[in-house]
């Protein structure tokens, strides 16, 4: 155990030195897009490091001359780090794996046949989450305590925390993967130690730590890996975890021009030539992995070698970088923002295997990953000139008025790069550009080597489009002008059908046949109140929709009015029907699952949906409709039975209201001496005007106000008690917050049978 702690201490104290195909032309086959997409985007490779430097310098000059204000904020180079060293390892107290309670060797955990996994988009392509279970253990990253907890059952069939892993405070948004006795923690690390004001710095790192959990009593660090940049996306396919990192740039404004330079429009070529060296520009990576070969063991703790090998290198050789740098004319048309995108392939089954990386000099906003392919998308915008609405004048002379509502419009496009994936071999295949931008990862799908993507545009008209691309990213079929002037809300590809939701004042659910990639067609439009932001298959004949109900407010506008769960019968694709619907809460209600489908926990065997939600109850009349008089922060158990109903079965909250009235009384006492006498004024026509009292007294202090109105206004003070995740293991329903994990039994009326405090 001591060796483990020493090694763990060593890792986080490392001052990591990060010393450490055919190009496809842009597809312009859509006649309507030729006018807007008349650019030749394709990925190229540098012929040498010298070529890399020359292309980079030319790009900087071109971009600066086209966008003179941009140089202060964008672009930069990366200073070299020092060689990786061990610094005060014995005094570091970060990233310690501490033993809380070891499970007894006599405890036999009863196998679980039905347990929850992360709700993912593509089968066999796992997505990271803050909680994972393999039924034997539960792994949970707690944001409040900044720890990873490992829980297991004890002799009494209750859950105990058996291990904790302290995550360093500099690590942001840690998430987890698990796979065959492996625990993988991913995070983005921030460190002011490497900060440099003018240049891009190495302060931001993508971190991967892999543990061997074969012996839960003695966790072993299999691998520690870091590369420059923020983690944008991550996926796992079988034994490999794929990390997509992004490194932005900041142009060193004062290094090149400023008050001491006579011509601020001219770059300092001497400084530029000195800084634009490949060794300074390329992102770097470092990797710590175990080795049994004595000559490879180059890591020491307290002057004693340990069986690990440390390597540090560039993410890519110059000649292996695939890059996209448009010419001057193209950059004038598109808002092109370059960055480094690093794709890292990490073998978690074999920690001794070297991590392979692929470097793209481009950008990333969203990805889609299948078991064979990776699609990296980024947004390109064409900015139009300043516009001002015309104000009509019906009587001469017409006054000259300032622009009351100026706006800058833009045309949206999506750049798509395709890579093939075969374990740690990542190969570039093709590039194209399509009009519009996808909403999220569920806007994209791959089937039989065809890539399908739904995009929307907002100017000069608002509409949604579907593109179907072949293996070379050439458009084989498309639909445009879907639901004109409506907002794209959600989509889901299920086999050879696309289900698409748009919204203006009512929800339109489109059923689109994509079985023929050359001729997609709309089969039906179902119009219902509200809209769905996420669609989930119930079975082959039914579809669950999760979103918002809507209502008309006092200004005759449309606003959200509660969280809504729908069930659609899609057995007849030409005539889908809404079979059941349930609305939860009133205006202001929400669920994180509406924007993060990983929180959608569906136990199909019991037809139960577990959903975290914050539900408000509003005052009933229009004049006070934005006054929340009650609130529920719960996890809901909702029964969705295609033959009967959608019905709420149970609610679980972790908020303790015991001291609520005492807290309200204490706060409201501070308003006891407020002068409520209005100051009235005589108006020239003789009547008197008495304006409202100037000092505001919250409505939850009114004697007629229920205590729950106070909670509705203070709900975020209890955010650590919010139920943020759900798990199920056979009949057990686990509701998870930062304060505790509560265990409920779905077979006995959903009653509480235990809890574990997160200490």
Given a cut of 70, is residue 28 above it in pLDDT?
A: no
Residue with more model confidence, 201 or 109 = 109
Given a cut of 70, is residue 613 above it in pLDDT?
A: yes
Write out pLDDT tens, residues 54-91.
888 888 777 767 765 444 333 333 333 332 333 222 22
Query: How is residue 590 annotated by DSSP?
Result: B
Instruction: State mean pLDDT over 507-531.
Output: 92
Q: Does residue 696 contact residue 713 with C-beta atoms inside 8 Å?
A: no
The pairing of strands 308-314 and 322-323 is unpaired
Would you state the torsion angle of the CA atoms of residues 311, 312, 315, 320, taken in this order, to the nearest 10 degrees? Answer: -70
Position 392 scores a pLDDT of 52
Write out pLDDT tens, residues 410-427.
678 999 999 999 999 999
Position 155 scores a pLDDT of 77
Q: Mean pLDDT check: name the lowest of 182-186, 231-235, 573-577, 751-755.
A: 573-577
Q: Does residue 255 contact residue 198 with C-beta atoms inside 8 Å?
A: yes
Write out pLDDT tens, residues 330-345.
777 777 777 899 999 9
Residue with more model confidence, 686 or 135 = 135
Two structure tokens written together for 392: 């009509």
Which among 125, 185, 124, 108 has a CA at the least distance from the CA of 150? 185
Write out pLDDT tens, residues 90-145.
223 344 455 555 444 445 667 888 999 999 999 999 999 999 999 999 999 999 99
Instruction: State mean pLDDT over 534-547.
Output: 96
Instruction: State mean pLDDT over 375-394.
Output: 69
Instruction: State mean pLDDT over 343-364.
Output: 94
Given a cut of 80, is residue 500 above it in pLDDT?
A: yes
Distance CA(118)–CA(394), nearest Å, equals 63
The pairing of strands 497-503 and 487-494 is antiparallel
Given a cut of 50, is residue 48 above it in pLDDT?
A: yes
**Binning pLDDT at 50, 70 and 90, where does residue 575 land?**
confident
Which among 189, 166, 172, 255 has a CA at the least distance from the CA of 18? 189
Percent of the chain topping pLDDT 90: 56
CA-based torsion, 259, 260, 262, 268: positive or negative: negative
Q: Mean pLDDT check: name the lowest of 168-177, 364-373, 678-687.
A: 678-687
Q: Does residue 590 contact residue 636 with C-beta atoms inside 8 Å?
A: no
Distance CA(169)–CA(165), nearest Å, equals 12
Global pTM value: 0.87
- Mean pLDDT (the chain) is 82
Position 603 scores a pLDDT of 98
**Binning pLDDT at 50, 70 and 90, where does residue 397 land?**
low
Distance CA(170)–CA(364), nearest Å, equals 24
The SS3 assignment for 542 reads strand
**Binning pLDDT at 50, 70 and 90, where does residue 517 land?**
very high
Given a cut of 70, is residue 224 above it in pLDDT?
A: yes
Q: Mean pLDDT check: name the lowest of 486-490, 595-599, 692-696.
A: 692-696
Helices 660-668 and 707-714: crossing angle in degrees, nearest 10, is 80
Q: Mean pLDDT check: name the lowest of 266-280, 369-383, 656-670.
A: 266-280
The pairing of strands 628-641 and 608-618 is antiparallel
Cis-peptide, bond into residue 397, ω within 30° of zero: yes
**Binning pLDDT at 50, 70 and 90, where does residue 461 land?**
confident
Position 233 scores a pLDDT of 97
């Amino acid at each position: 155990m001591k060796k483990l702690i020493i090694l763990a201490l060593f890792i986080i104290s490392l001052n990591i030195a990060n010393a450490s195909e055919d190009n496809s032309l842009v597809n312009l086959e859509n006649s309507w897009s030729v006018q807007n997409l008349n650019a030749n985007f394709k990925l190229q490779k540098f012929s040498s490091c010298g070529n890399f430097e020359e292309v980079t310098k030319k790009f900087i000059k071109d971009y600066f001359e086209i966008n003179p204000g941009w140089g202060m904020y964008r672009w930069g180079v990366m200073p070299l780090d020092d060689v990786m060293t061990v610094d005060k390892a014995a005094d570091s107290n970060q990233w310690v794996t501490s033993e809380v309670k070891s499970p007894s060797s006599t405890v036999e955990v009863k196998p679980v046949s039905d347990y929850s996994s992360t709700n993912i988009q593509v089968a066999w392509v796992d997505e990271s989450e803050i909680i994972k279970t393999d039924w034997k253990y539960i792994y949970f990253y707690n944001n409040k305590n900044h720890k990873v907890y490992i829980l297991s059952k004890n002799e009494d069939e209750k859950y105990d925390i058996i291990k904790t892993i302290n995550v360093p405070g500099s690590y942001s948004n840690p998430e987890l993967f698990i796979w065959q006795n492996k625990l993988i923690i991913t995070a983005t690390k921030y460190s002011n130690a490497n900060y440099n004001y003018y240049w891009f710095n190495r302060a931001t790192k993508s971190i991967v730590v892999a543990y061997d959990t074969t012996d839960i009593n003695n966790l072993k660090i299999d691998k520690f890996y870091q590369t420059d940049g923020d983690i944008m996306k991550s996926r796992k396919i079988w034994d490999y975890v794929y990390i997509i990192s992004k490194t932005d740039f900041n142009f060193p404004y004062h290094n090149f021009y400023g008050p001491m330079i006579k011509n601020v429009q001219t770059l300092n070529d001497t400084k530029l030539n000195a800084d634009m060296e490949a060794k300074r520009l390329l992102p770097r990576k470092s990797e710590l992995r175990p080795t049994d070969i004595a000559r490879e063991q180059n890591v020491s703790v307290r002057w004693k070698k340990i069986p690990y090998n440390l390597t540090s290198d560039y993410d890519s050789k110059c000649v292996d970088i695939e890059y996209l740098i448009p010419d001057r004319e193209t950059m004038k048309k598109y808002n092109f923002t370059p960055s480094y995108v690093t794709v890292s392939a990490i073998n978690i089954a074999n920690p001794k295997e070297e991590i392979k990386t692929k470097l793209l000099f481009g950008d990333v906003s969203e990805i889609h990953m299948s078991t064979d392919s990776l699609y990296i998308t980024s947004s390109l915008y064409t900015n139009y000139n300043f516009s001002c609405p015309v104000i009509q004048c019906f009587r001469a002379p017409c006054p000259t008025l300032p622009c009351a509502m100026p706006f800058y419009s833009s045309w949206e496009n999506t750049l798509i790069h395709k890579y093939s994936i075969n374990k740690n071999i990542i190969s570039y295949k093709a590039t194209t550009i399509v009009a519009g931008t996808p909403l999220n990862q569920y806007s994209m799908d791959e089937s039989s080597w065809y890539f399908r993507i739904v995009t929307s545009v907002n100017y000069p008209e608002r509409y949604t489009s579907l593109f179907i691309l072949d293996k070379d990213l050439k458009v084989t079929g498309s639909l445009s002008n879907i639901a004109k002037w409506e907002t794209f809300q959600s989509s889901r590809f299920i086999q050879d059908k696309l289900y698409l939701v748009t919204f203006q004042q009512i929800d339109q659910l489109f059923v689109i046949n994509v079985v023929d990639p050359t001729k997609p067609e709309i089969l039906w439009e179902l119009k219902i109140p509200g809209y769905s932001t996420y669609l989930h298959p119930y079975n082959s004949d039914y579809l669950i929709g999760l979103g918002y109900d809507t209502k008309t407010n006092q200004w005759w506008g449309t606003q959200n009015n509660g969280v809504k769960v729908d069930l659609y019968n899609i057995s007849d694709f030409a005539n889908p029907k809404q079979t059941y619907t349930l609305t939860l809460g009133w205006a202001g209600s929400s669920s994180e699952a509406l924007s993060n489908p990983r929180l959608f926990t569906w136990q199909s065997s019991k037809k139960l949906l577990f959903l975290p939600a914050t539900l408000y109850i509003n005052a009933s009349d229009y004049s006070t409709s934005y006054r929340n008089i009650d609130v529920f922060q719960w996890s809901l158990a909702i029964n969705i039975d295609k033959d009967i109903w959608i019905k709420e079965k149970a609610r679980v909250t972790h908020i303790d209201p015991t001291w609520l009235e005492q807290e309200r009384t204490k706060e409201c006492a501070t308003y006891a001496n407020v002068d409520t006498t209005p100051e009235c004024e005589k108006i020239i026509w003789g009547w008197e005007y008495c304006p409202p009292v100037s000092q505001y007294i919250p409505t939850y202090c009114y004697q007629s106000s229920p205590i729950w109105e106070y909670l509705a206004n203070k709900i975020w003070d209890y955010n650590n008690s919010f139920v943020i995740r759900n798990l199920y293991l056979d009949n057990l329903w686990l509701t998870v917050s930062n304060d505790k994990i509560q265990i409920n039994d779905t077979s006995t009326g959903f009653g509480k049978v235990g809890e574990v405090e997160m200490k």
